[in-house]
Every structure is written in C-alpha cells, then in structure tokens.
Structure 1
Amino acid sequence: MHVILPRPLKIDSDMWVDEAIWGHRLYDEQTPWLCFMEFLNILNAELEAGRAFVEQVDNMLTYNPRSRLYLRNILFNNPRMAVIERQHRNDNRSQWDRWKESMVNSAGITTPNYSYLEERFLSFEDFKEIVDFLSASTIEGENNKRWSSQFVFPFGPDCLYEDLNVRENNNTSQDRRFFARTGELLYLMLSRSGRGDELLSYFKKHILNKDTQFNRLVASLQSPEDVAYSKREGGYLPHLHLPEYEMLAQDWVNLFKCDIPAYDVIPYLINLMGLHMLLYSLNRAKEVLGQDEKTTFVVEIVAPKKTVIRELSADSFSDNHNLSRFAVEHYVRSACDTDEWKAAVQANEISDCRDILKKMFEWPKDNKEKDYDHIESSEELFNTFFENAINRHKQHLNKFHNVWSREIGLSSRRGSRRARYAPQDLLLKSLVLCVVPLRMEFQEFLETLYVKYGLIIGDKQADVYISNGRADQEAFAENAIRLEQRLASMGLLKRLSDACAYVENPFAIQEEG
C-alpha cells in the first residue's frame, strides 16, 4: 500500500469516497481533450507565475486562469457577422459599424469596446476570414456545448482560458462540468513525476510558444482591456509517488522527441494520457480491493468474422468496468471493520455511528444532517450511506472507464452488442511512436505493449487464457497476425522475411554515430 496524503481541510463534495481513492476528481463528462485543455491552462498559469511543475505544498495547487471574454464572444457568440458582411459587401465602414452595434451586448463584458480590431485588420473581410478559420478549429467542434464552454485549438498560450458559465446581468462563474478537475490531477501527476523540467522545455517550445504564427492570429483578436483572471484552488491527488506518474511523463517525453510538427503531436499526447489515466483508475481500484495481479486489456484486432477473442475482450472490458464500483463498495464497508464502529454498534450509540461516518467519509454534510435525523439504528444509517455512496459513484466516476476508453479509441461496440477493446488506428500509431525508438522486432513490440500497458494481443501474452482453456494458442496468434497486417497497411511495419518483421517509427530521429 502507498501512503495516502491528508485530505483537504475544506471539502466541497457531498462525501469523501471516490475522492479518497482516486483524487478530486476523475469525471466522465470531461473528455481527454478537455482534460488536456484544463491541464494547459494550469501549466500556462503556473509558468507565468514562475512555478511550473513545482508543487510547493502537497495538494495546495492555486492558479490563475484567464477568461478572455472578448476572444470568446468574437469566436463563439457572434451570430450576425456573416449576415453583416454579406449585406454591406464592399462597404468596409458600414460593415465595421453594423458589426460593433451587433456586439454591444457581448456576454460577460460590461461595456464592450471592439474599436481596437479596426487598427489590426486591413478590412472587415480580412477580420471575418481569420474568425472563420479559428472558429473552425474548435476542440470537439461537433458538440452542443454552450458558447462559453467552446475552446479554440491550443495554438499557443493566447488560446487558453477557463470554462465559464455566463448568466444574465453579465455575471460569470467558473464551471466544473467540462473543466472538472481531471486536468488538475494530470498536472499534479506530472509535477510529481520527476520529469517536470524536461517536459516544460518541450511545452515551452512546441505548445506554449507565443511567437508561433497561429498564436499571433489569436492574440490579434484579444482586447487590451481583457486582462481579467481569477484565482482557482486545485484538486487533491492522494498519492505522492506512483510509478504511473513517471510512466506517463516518460511517454510524453518520447512523443516530444519524435520529429512530429508541434501541433500534430497533441492528439498522440492525449491518447497516451488517456490510456495512462485509465491504468491509474484501474490500478487504484485494484489496490483498494487488495488485488495484486496486473491490470490487463484483452485487445481484439478486429476480424471479418466473430472470434473467441471478441468474447474475451468484451469480458475483459466488463471486468475492468466493474472494478471501480467494487472498490467503492469495499472501501465503504471498511468502516464496519473498525473497532470504533463495532464498539458503537455494541453500545447501540447511534450518535457515535454518525460521528464515525462523518470523520471517515464527511457524510452527511452539515447542511444535510437533518435529513437523516429520523434514522435510529446503526444498520439503517450505514445502509443509507452505502446506497448514497454507490448512487453517487454511478453518476460519473463509474462511467469514466467506458467514456475514456471509447474517446481515445481503445474500445468499441462496432459489430457487437457488447463493448470490447478494439483499438483504432490513431491509438495504434500513438503506441508505436511512443514505444518504438526507431525499429523494433514485432514480437518484442507485442511484449512491450503488455509489460507497459497490459495490452494482451499475441499468444505469448495470453498464457493465462490459453492455459485455462478459454482460448487456444492459434486464436491469439491470428489476432497478432491481424495487427501485423494492419500496421503494415499503415506504413508502420516491414516484413524482411517469413520469420522477421519490424515495427518502425516513421518520426524517430536517428542519432548520429
């Protein structure tokens, strides 16, 4: 067992159960892309404060993200621009005047002043062309999120801002639905990885570079008045040191070392981050349950017809999906094994039982204690708490494995009623770029994927399934052959002879000498 850091003095959640195991917090509605965007906001804010990847006090992260309301109104809350440009074609003065009139009630800005834009663009048409281009680069553009939760692609630091809820009377508040603290956990993990300085050098060069062409385009839309930022207190990560932190950091370093254009590396970073966050969530559940065996994913390389691997992969997915709920059940029931609880039950002291649940799990919150005053037995009190804890877990964290494995292209329901691990090409390419320094023999590649990530593809990694009769060696050998053929079709594998195939990293930088 690893040492658990003290929980925060101030707790704003309904109870301290999921957070005690995984931290505050893993959240299904925050996709890997949005997790990465929240992380970049934190990193950039801490970089500006001169303490990037430096955790001065454990779990006391405080940072100042930007709001950039002028930029966001221009890109995402600007419905009249196209009509005005068309109605007043070839009349630059009228176009600017009518557009500024249409933006007089810009949300979240008390007295908007867009006059600075005319000084930066030769014409309204040029301005509109830039806005159209940047709007089209929206993260997860095919969504129905409100305009204040839309995010431009991270071309540079001027593209970064927090998730906001903009209400009537221009009142704005931070929203925790899409920036739900998962990015804070990611930042804390990397701060504790021991690779912060190395990572920071890559981020400053590739992603947080103010001087790139596209970042300068975004900066041209910013108002000199738009300097507002707010103070945010960060999340809670239970463990000070874990192997998962260093493994994630190392994989990101490996990707940055590839000869990949700055912006093109981001999807690979996100895919590998998502895989590591899944491993983190499953490993923490296994730790609570006292399970020592390796976390694994039986991976089906999709075949034209249904195979036994598909069923095993679906079973593997289901087993992993249920782990978090089992962990919560076990963690909550641990209260009943304490001497304090047993003594309180023996003495029939319901008030002592309430105090124990309050001390261990921060339940119920002070403003909800009266809702449970009618409960007069320890059994009913515990069962009520247990039901509340499980129902709360099912709302979000229990869905994390399902949502994130699908989002990074690890799982799929295609051709089946059950979800199973069936990786998409982008994830496979991400893995090749991450683990193959230049070239690697195919069987070694399969073993590396198993050792690092628990991915079971070939027969040598599937020994437990073969030995217990759930599949034969041929089924997994054919699964590996399908991966070989797929990597070859992607230009990531070459077969030199019948007995020799090599996986190749097309972006590897070959060292001289």
Structure 2
Amino acid sequence: MTTRNQLLQLAEGAVRVPETQNLSSVKLWCEYAIWGLLFYDDQSPWLTVVEALHICFHRKGQGDPVFTAVASVTSAEHEAITYRLRLNNELRHMLFRDREVIRIANGQSVDEKARWHGWLETVSRDYTGLELGYLQDEFDTFGEMARSVELLRTAEIEAQSAKRWTSRHILPLGPDMLFADVNDKNSLDRKFMRRTGEMLYLMLNRASLRDELGRLIETRLLNSGSPWNRLARRIGGPTTASVGDTHIGYLPMSSASSYDRLAQDWIALLSLRNIPVESLLDPLERVSGLMQILYILERAQETIGDNVPVPPFFLDLLGAPGNNPIRKLSANQFKRHRSMQIEAIGAFIDAFADSDHWSAVLASAAGGKEAMDLLATRFRWKPSRSPNPDWMPPPEEQLAELRTQAQNSKGHSITSTFSNHAKHIGMLRAQRSSGTWYAPSDAFLEALVLANITTPMEFGDFLHRLMTRYNIVVGPEEVRIAFNVKTSALPAPLADLKENERRLEDRLRVLGFLDRKSDDCAFVINPFHNATTTSGAAQLVYA
C-alpha cells in the first residue's frame, strides 16, 4: 500500500521520506524536499550543536555507537532514529528562574537552618510541585549551594538572548546538563530547538569519516564524569523525567561533499587536546553553522542545475564606511546567495511541471480538479478552493499560485535561516543604514584557523585553502579564480583587494595566529595544535 509520504515530490537523487516522519504541520513541501526538514531560522548554531549532542548522548546512554550505520551512499532509505530528551526541570529552575538563592546567600542571616527553611518555603509557595529538599543533603551549607548555582550559570549559552526559561540552555558538557525545549506545561513544542540539530547529526552520520569522528565525540564530548556535569547532577537531583521518544527529521541527500568537510572540521577541532572541551564548543558551533549555510547554497545550485560554481563569499576586512567597492562586492554576493535559494524553489517546481504526471493533468478534461488533488499529494498544498470543479482555476494558474507562495514565503523560510545563521557565526554583518554584507568577527576567523591549521601554513596557502574548502575569498588572487576573471576587470579595484588581504593578515597577527618572518614570508599558525608550541595566542577569543 502506497502511503502519503511515498507520494511526495522528491528532489532528484533524494532518499524516500520515512514513514515515521510526521508531516501534519507541513503546509508546503518544496523547501523541505530540497534542503531537509528542518533548517530553522530561530534555532541558532549554538542550539543546533546542542540538539545534535542530545542525540549523541542518548545513543551512548542506550549503549549504541554515536553514529548509526548507513547501508550505502546510494541507498534510497532514510535512517530511522529515535531519541529521548531530558526535562531536567529542577536544574533549569535553579539556573534560570530562581532568584531567591543568591539574595538569601548574600543576606545578613548566618543561621543555616533559617536560610534553608526560608528558601524552601518560598519554593513551595511559588512553584507548586517542585521539590528541592534534596539539596540540603547534597551541600554542606546554603552558601556552598548558592555559589555552585552561580558558577553553573556562567556556563549558559547565548545568555544575552531573551528566551523563556524553558528554552534556555548551558554548555552540553554532560548528560545532566541537557534540557528539552518545552512550554510551561513541559510539552515538547520546539520553539527554538526545531530539528536543525538533527540535520547536523544526519550530515555527520552520512560522512565517510563518521566512525573516527564518533570515537572522538565519545571521548571528548560525552564524558559524564566532567566536573561541570558532576556539579549539574548535584544541583539537578535524582529525577530522570524526559519527553517521549522523538523521531529524527528528514535530510534528502544520502551523500554530499559538505558532509565530509563538516566531519573533517569536527575531527580537526576535537583533536586539539590542548584546548579544554568547553572552549572548543564555540569554534565547533561556528564551523558547523558555516558548513550548514554552505550546504544550503550547494543544494540550491544543484537544484538550479546550470553547471556553474556556487558564487563565493567575499569577506570585507576593511570595515570602511560608505558604499566603498569592497563592501559593495560583499553585499552583492550576499544578495546573490539569497536569490539562489528562491531560484532553487522555482527550479524544483519546474522539474515537476515537466513530469508525465503533470502532463496528464494538463491533457485531462477535469484538469482543474486533478491539479488540485495532485498538488495536494505531491506538495501538501491545500489552498482554499470551491468544491465545485467548474470553479477550479486551470492547472497552469494553480501551479503558478503554488510557485508564488513557495518563493515568497514569509517568516521562517530557508532564506531567513541562511541569513540568521551567517550572522550568528560571526560571518555576516547588518546595519540599518548600510545594508548587509559579509564581514568576519575575530571568533569566526579563529574558528577557521583552529579547524584548518596544524603545522605553520604560508599565508597565501591559507587564503587558497579558505577558497577551496569554504568558498571564502579575500584577496585579488582568489577573487580572480573564484570570479573566473581572465581578461575582464576585477570586480573591485586591485589596490582595495590587496588592502583587504593585508587587513586579514593584520587581524590574524593581533589574534596571535600569524607569524611574519620577513617582508615576503608570513605563516598562519595554530598555537594550540601541540604542547610544544607556546608562542601566539594565549587564550581563545569570544565574540
């Protein structure tokens, strides 16, 4: 028996949508068929990494390997993976909702019994059903407990974001530091953690180096005995409540070069033993976000199918005000990238329009009604229509209406996901009066160095690696190659491009990642790659 999921329109070469995939909330299938279900704009790269590690921690807890075997890169079957999410309400309350602990700890009273009694009484009165009496057995004094809470609060990620307390998170340094994204009734509503991390996990799971990466993830990220996790376990208490099993989302392509590059970056970062794992998570989420937006562009180009390279990211290092050539080139590249995603949706619909099924609809006397049924089946698209077939728009108009709606989607679209993730990783800058363009933060540059440099690399070779690996260009030589300039003029003045390149060199030198030996010889270095190298940056930079 053919199911509804099996009738969906798929991208060329895509795996089938698993029967476990619940599509009841999907109103228009085009975007998900091309890129996957779901790349979500309000789920930051930080929360994406946290969600991916949820799956890894669950699999380890079940005694399974971090990644599941994929039968073949040419397999038409999708992975069937389920995992559970911890609620961890007591810990989350202590970290993000309770404000009495610190107030009482800083008060005048030194009576331990009175402190505990007053605080527990407040909890009982204000938060029905929350039992925190176990904390008296975990800590010798109220002050020790308060200091522990205060310390663990420093591990919050994206502390500046104004999220509800049930959607806030800390560094995923152990299974006791994880929370589900729920509403105030503890129901999984995925407001900010909405499967983009599942896409990240699936990309890693389909990489050729997944076995090596799985071992690194287990040894470096899944350690339940870390000091941070032990502290979280003490504060969180003995409860193990969780949200029911959830099925993983849908990623259409069984293989892609971006999957392998993503896994290579994770391996490179997790292999840096001289960096504490809590400090590695920041560059890890930045390269993960970068590789996901690269995946979005590469899938768009594959769907458009015009056999031209993906337009490069051009980074503005000058930071000069006004509409200067460097900023203008960077802004134009961003606009081109956004338009590609819209073009890809149009190309996906065009491919359907060329199919035999649609041709049969056009040839049918009852084409209007058949078009409505076919578009509902293939794209889950059900606009308001009259039940009278005589009032149905002709098939061409229905398909044009679907195209318009798909390409002009407002709100949580793939284009907003692309923009928001590029901003979060420190690659994209937006100013109300100046527009939006690619301009890297220090932390983004640092992540690129840590993921790509082992032994010292000549600066020109580093620029070439950024171009070939991430499609990032900065200086004139890489611009000439990436823009396929042979006889025509460069897209920006040569002097400006050279100055842009020099500014990158200056930035890396200030960060401690570049060593200039002479006027003609500069090397990009990674001082964290081995214990014998001590020159360069003394600590990681966060932005």
The alignment's TM-score, normalised by the length of structure 2, stands at 0.87
Could you say if the C-alpha distance between residues 117 and 451 of structure 1 is closer, same or farther in structure 2, counting changes exceeding 3 Å? Answer: same
Q: CA deviation at 1:75?
A: 1.5
Specify the alignment match of 1:361 in structure 2.
379
Specify the alignment match of 2:405 in structure 1.
388
1:385 aligned partner, one-letter code = L
Cα separation, 2, equivalents of 1:267 and 1:81: 29
Whether the aligned pair in 2 keeps the contact of 1:325 and 1:393 (CA below 8 Å) is no
Whether the aligned pair in 1 keeps the contact of 2:458 and 2:522 (CA below 8 Å) is yes
Specify the alignment match of 2:183 in structure 1.
165
Structure 1: segments with no counterpart, 5+ residues: none
Q: Work out whether 1:249 is the aligned partner of 2:278.
A: no
Q: Please point out which of 80, 83, 86 is paired with 1:60.
A: 80
Whether the aligned pair in 2 keeps the contact of 1:139 and 1:151 (CA below 8 Å) is yes
Q: Deviations over 1:62-88 (max 9, x none)?
A: 111211111112212213333444567
Q: CA deviation at 1:248?
A: 0.4
Specify the alignment match of 1:468 in structure 2.
488
- Range with greater deviation from structure 2 (137-146 or 8-17): 8-17
2:435 match: secondary structure: coil
2:247 aligned partner, one-letter code = E
1:136 aligned partner, one-letter code = T
Q: Percent identity between the aligned chains?
A: 30
Cα separation, 1, equivalents of 2:408 and 2:475: 38
Could you say if the C-alpha distance between residues 348 and 468 of structure 1 is closer, same or farther in structure 2, counting changes exceeding 3 Å? Answer: farther
Whether the aligned pair in 1 keeps the contact of 2:86 and 2:242 (CA below 8 Å) is yes
Q: Work out whether 1:47 is the aligned partner of 2:60.
A: yes
Q: Please point out which of 149, 154, 176 is paired with 1:131.
A: 149
Could you say if the C-alpha distance between residues 372 and 305 of structure 1 is closer, same or farther in structure 2, counting changes exceeding 3 Å? Answer: farther
Cα separation, 2, equivalents of 1:280 and 1:126: 47
Whether the aligned pair in 1 keeps the contact of 2:46 and 2:157 (CA below 8 Å) is yes
Cα separation, 1, equivalents of 2:320 and 2:289: 28
Specify the alignment match of 2:74 in structure 1.
none
Q: Work out whether 1:74 is the aligned partner of 2:94.
A: yes
Specify the alignment match of 2:276 in structure 1.
261
Specify the alignment match of 1:434 in structure 2.
451
Could you say if the C-alpha distance between residues 372 and 116 of structure 1 is closer, same or farther in structure 2, counting changes exceeding 3 Å? Answer: farther
Whether the aligned pair in 2 keeps the contact of 1:18 and 1:393 (CA below 8 Å) is no
- Range with greater deviation from structure 2 (113-122 or 226-235): 226-235
Could you say if the C-alpha distance between residues 494 and 416 of structure 1 is closer, same or farther in structure 2, counting changes exceeding 3 Å? Answer: farther
Cα separation, 2, equivalents of 1:369 and 1:181: 32
Could you say if the C-alpha distance between residues 83 and 496 of structure 1 is closer, same or farther in structure 2, counting changes exceeding 3 Å? Answer: closer
Cα separation, 2, equivalents of 1:118 and 1:488: 51
Whether the aligned pair in 1 keeps the contact of 2:16 and 2:78 (CA below 8 Å) is no
Could you say if the C-alpha distance between residues 354 and 303 of structure 1 is closer, same or farther in structure 2, counting changes exceeding 3 Å? Answer: closer
1:484 aligned partner, one-letter code = E
1:76 aligned partner, one-letter code = F
Whether the aligned pair in 2 keeps the contact of 1:105 and 1:112 (CA below 8 Å) is no
Could you say if the C-alpha distance between residues 476 and 127 of structure 1 is closer, same or farther in structure 2, counting changes exceeding 3 Å? Answer: same
Q: Please point out which of 293, 302, 311 is paired with 2:318.
A: 302
Could you say if the C-alpha distance between residues 164 and 310 of structure 1 is closer, same or farther in structure 2, counting changes exceeding 3 Å? Answer: same
Q: CA deviation at 1:424?
A: 1.0
1:7 match: secondary structure: coil
Q: Please point out which of 347, 361, 372 is paired with 1:344.
A: 361
Q: CA deviation at 1:137?
A: 2.5
Cα separation, 2, equivalents of 1:445 and 1:221: 46
Q: Work out whether 1:377 is the aligned partner of 2:394.
A: yes
Structure 2: segments with no counterpart, 5+ residues: 1-10, 71-76, 534-543
2:392 aligned partner, one-letter code = I
Whether the aligned pair in 2 keeps the contact of 1:42 and 1:63 (CA below 8 Å) is yes
Cα separation, 1, equivalents of 2:150 and 2:444: 30
Specify the alignment match of 2:513 in structure 1.
492
1:283 aligned partner, one-letter code = E
Cα separation, 2, equivalents of 1:225 and 1:305: 55
Cα separation, 1, equivalents of 2:319 and 2:484: 19
1:177 match: secondary structure: coil
1:184 aligned partner, one-letter code = E
Residues 108-507 of structure 1 aligned to structure 2 (within 5 Å)? 111-167=129-185, 172-258=186-272, 259-295=274-310, 296-304=312-320, 307-349=324-366, 350-364=368-382, 375-392=392-409, 395-413=412-430, 417-463=434-480, 464=483, 467-469=487-489, 470-507=491-528
Could you say if the C-alpha distance between residues 104 and 480 of structure 1 is closer, same or farther in structure 2, counting changes exceeding 3 Å? Answer: same
Whether the aligned pair in 1 keeps the contact of 2:385 and 2:392 (CA below 8 Å) is no
Cα separation, 1, equivalents of 2:455 and 2:46: 28
- Range with greater deviation from structure 2 (23-32 or 318-327): 318-327
Whether the aligned pair in 2 keeps the contact of 1:206 and 1:263 (CA below 8 Å) is no
Specify the alignment match of 1:19 in structure 2.
32
Specify the alignment match of 2:119 in structure 1.
99
Q: Deviations over 1:488-511 (max 9, x none)?
A: 122111111221111111111279
Structure 1 stretches of at least 4 aligned residues deviating more than 6 Å after TM superposition: 368-373
Cα separation, 2, equivalents of 1:394 and 1:352: 30
Q: Please point out which of 13, 17, 20 is paired with 1:7.
A: 17
Cα separation, 2, equivalents of 1:187 and 1:211: 23
Whether the aligned pair in 1 keeps the contact of 2:38 and 2:250 (CA below 8 Å) is yes
- Range with greater deviation from structure 2 (126-135 or 29-38): 126-135
Q: Deviations over 1:281-326 (max 9, x none)?
A: 0111111111333321111112446541211111001101221122
Cα separation, 2, equivalents of 1:348 and 1:93: 84
Q: CA deviation at 1:442?
A: 0.8
Q: CA deviation at 1:448?
A: 0.7
2:209 aligned partner, one-letter code = R
Q: Deviations over 1:469-500 (max 9, x none)?
A: 23343332222111112211221111112211
Could you say if the C-alpha distance between residues 369 and 70 of structure 1 is closer, same or farther in structure 2, counting changes exceeding 3 Å? Answer: farther
Q: CA deviation at 1:429?
A: 1.2
Q: Deviations over 1:173-218 (max 9, x none)?
A: 1122211100001011111113223223322332221112121111
Q: CA deviation at 1:5?
A: 0.2
Cα separation, 2, equivalents of 1:151 and 1:123: 26
The alignment's TM-score, normalised by the length of structure 1, stands at 0.92
Could you say if the C-alpha distance between residues 298 and 228 of structure 1 is closer, same or farther in structure 2, counting changes exceeding 3 Å? Answer: closer
Could you say if the C-alpha distance between residues 415 and 425 of structure 1 is closer, same or farther in structure 2, counting changes exceeding 3 Å? Answer: farther
Whether the aligned pair in 1 keeps the contact of 2:386 and 2:392 (CA below 8 Å) is no
Cα separation, 1, equivalents of 2:532 and 2:375: 59
Cα separation, 2, equivalents of 1:442 and 1:2: 40
Cα separation, 2, equivalents of 1:21 and 1:481: 39
1:431 aligned partner, one-letter code = L
Specify the alignment match of 2:73 in structure 1.
none
- Range with greater deviation from structure 2 (96-105 or 241-250): 96-105
Whether the aligned pair in 1 keeps the contact of 2:513 and 2:527 (CA below 8 Å) is yes
Whether the aligned pair in 2 keeps the contact of 1:271 and 1:430 (CA below 8 Å) is yes
2:102 aligned partner, one-letter code = A
Q: CA deviation at 1:228?
A: 3.3
Cα separation, 2, equivalents of 1:495 and 1:84: 55
1:188 aligned partner, one-letter code = L
